[in-house]
Amino acid sequence: MDENTRFVQVTPPTSACSIAFGEGITDMTPGTQNSIQAVVPDARAARRELLDRGVDATEVVTLAWGSFTSFTDPDGNTWTLQELPPPGSYGAGET
Residues 6-17 have pLDDT tens digits of 888 888 888 877
Taking the C-alpha atoms of residue 59 and residue 70, their distance in angstroms, rounded to an integer, is 8
Residue 25 has pLDDT above 70, yes or no: yes
Name the more confident of 79 and 94.
79
Q: Give the pLDDT band of residue 94 (cuts 50, 70, 90).
A: very low
Task: Tell me yes or no: is domain 34-95 CATH 3.40.50.720.
Answer: no
Give the model confidence (pLDDT) of 40-70 as tens digits: 999 999 999 999 999 999 999 999 889 999 9
Q: Which residues of 22-59 are buried (b: 16+ CB within 10 A; e: fewer)?
A: eeeeeeeeeeeeeeebeebeebeebbeebeeeeeebee
**pTM of this structure:** 0.65
